[in-house]
Amino acid sequence: MINSTTITKTIKDIMSPSVIGFTLKVAFLSLLITLLIMWFAYGLLESFLASYLTWIPWDFLKSAVANLGIILTGYVIFIANISIFTSLLSDKLLVKIAKKHYSDVEQAGEPKISQTLWINIKATLLFLLLFIITLPFLFIPILGQIVMLFLWSILIKAPTEHDVNSLFNTHTNKSSRLISIIASLFNYVPLLNIFSSIFAQILFLHAMMQKEA
């Protein structure tokens, strides 16, 4: 369950040196992979957007929207990479945080890399599919931000549930969607966006531990 206690604990945790160090490492890896993907896929992406935006009558507007689309796509890939690397690398950090706050907690298992990767791939593919389908709506003020927030939450929800549940044998509950949406708000703030996935994991951890207590 989410309350002032779980949120306060989570904020304190993400400000700790270990979490900041972990997050910076994940951000660096994500940025590197994103640049490589954009380098090799730039021409294909440019062609796709050109054909996708044929409904726009004016060339100058089409060009501006295409450039914005490329920037947005690069940012989406960057955030998706952060989600994937956080999920794959955060096990030890989550165990450390859990033992810090809940001394009697026992690690119940360890996520299998293949399963973790598969869950992240499914979440990312669903996210990208819905992103492409809803792309025209993303340029509409307010509505676009609401749609994008929901899409971000899809990217975070399933991997977060899997990571925490695999480590501590907790169970999925209704709070996971709300946690994913709260964490996704970070993606609208520069620098804070790199903390979105780890924030979701830590908040979900505290919510589950308080429920189990």
Read off the tokens for 85: 């690397």
- For helices 59-89 and 143-168, give the axis angle rounded to 10 degrees: 10
Q: Where are the domains positioned within the chain? A: 4-212
Q: Is the Cβ–Cβ distance between 14 and 205 less than 8 Å? A: no
Q: What is the pLDDT of residues 49-78, one digit of tens each?
A: 777 666 667 776 777 777 777 888 888 899
pLDDT at 5: 84
Read off the tokens for 17: 């040196």
Instruction: Provide the pLDDT confidence category of residue 87 given band limits of 50, 70 and 90.
Output: very high
Read off the tokens for 210: 């308080």
pLDDT, average across residues 119-141:
87
128-132, 145-149, 154-158, 169-173: least confident range:
169-173
Length of the chain: 213
